[in-house]
């Protein structure tokens, strides 16, 4: 397979690169540190896509996101909401991925099955939210889910064999989760990568627009 990983310098993104490569897939990586890809600057995304023009990918995975924004941790109450931090969180977790879909989804295979997966979070679920808190992060990931759903409707016409999905990777020990996980990890990065790849491999076009956990089970919107 021909695979594109965005966010390859992150803990889970790097694990996905390793896992795909270990099974013999051809992997292309994109990251801010190595390629200057900046989620808040569409021109860098457009340039990265232009550099890949002519290639077609069986898998595109967006493994980006931020929980702590500009040094500000997730809010524990509405009294702690900061509009500038909230807007920055939306720019990173929702607007940036939307631009990635805009510029990279045209690189999906046209005449064979393909998957475009974006990493979301169970915290994005509105139906499953019984604890509140972390308003910005929850809201931005919920927005990401809607972006995936909208894109899936459009690409059902353009790439009828493709599935565009939102994936919850579980709680994986990475720099993003370390301050908040309190030991409640579901898998190591290599294990999580293999689980996510298994979900992608089992996902057909009939599941496009789905919000799935690392074990393949649907998550309530």
Q: What is the pLDDT of residues 172-182, one digit of tens each?
A: 766 555 555 55
Chain centroid, CA 206 distance in Å: 20
Contact 65, 176 (CB under 8 A): yes
Q: Mean pLDDT across the stretch 60-87? A: 94
Length of the chain: 221
The CATH architecture assigned to 2-213 reads 3-Layer(aba) Sandwich (3.40)
Residue 85 has a CB neighbour count (10 Å cut-off) of 18
Residue 116: phi and psi, rounded to 5, are -115, 110
Locate the domains of the chain by residue range: 2-213
**Statement: the pTM of the whole predicted model exceeds 0.85:** yes
Listing from the earlier edge strand, what are the strands of the sheet with 59-62? 26-30, 2-6, 59-62, 114-119, 162-168, 211-213
Contact 64, 119 (CB under 8 A): yes
Structure tokens at 68: 């702590």
Structure tokens at 103: 């510029």
Q: What is the pLDDT of residues 26-68, one digit of tens each?
A: 999 999 988 999 999 999 999 999 999 999 999 999 999 999 9
């Amino acid at each position: 397979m021909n695979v594109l990983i965005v966010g390859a310098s992150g803990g889970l993104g790097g694990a996905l690169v390793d896992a795909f490569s270990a099974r013999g897939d051809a992997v292309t990586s994109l990251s801010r540190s190595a390629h200057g890809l900046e989620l808040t600057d569409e021109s860098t995304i457009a340039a990265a896509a232009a550099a890949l023009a002519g290639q077609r990918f069986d898998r595109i995975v967006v493994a980006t996101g931020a929980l702590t924004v500009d040094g500000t941790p997730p809010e524990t109450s509405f009294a702690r909401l900061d509009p500038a931090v909230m807007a920055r969180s939306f720019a990173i977790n929702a607007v940036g991925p939307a631009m990635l879909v805009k510029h990279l989804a045209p690189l999906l295979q046209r005449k064979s099955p393909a998957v475009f997966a974006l990493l979301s979070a169970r915290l994005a679920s509105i139906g499953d939210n019984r604890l509140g808190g972390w308003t910005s992060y929850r809201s931005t990931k919920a927005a990401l889910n809607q972006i995936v759903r909208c894109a899936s409707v459009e690409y059902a016409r353009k790439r009828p064999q493709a599935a565009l999905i939102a994936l919850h990777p579980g709680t994986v020990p990475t720099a993003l989760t370390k301050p908040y996980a309190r030991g409640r990890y579901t898998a190591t990065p290599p294990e999580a990568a293999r689980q996510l790849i298994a979900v992608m491999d089992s996902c057909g076009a009939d599941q496009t627009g789905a919000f799935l956990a690392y074990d393949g089970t649907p998550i309530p919107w």
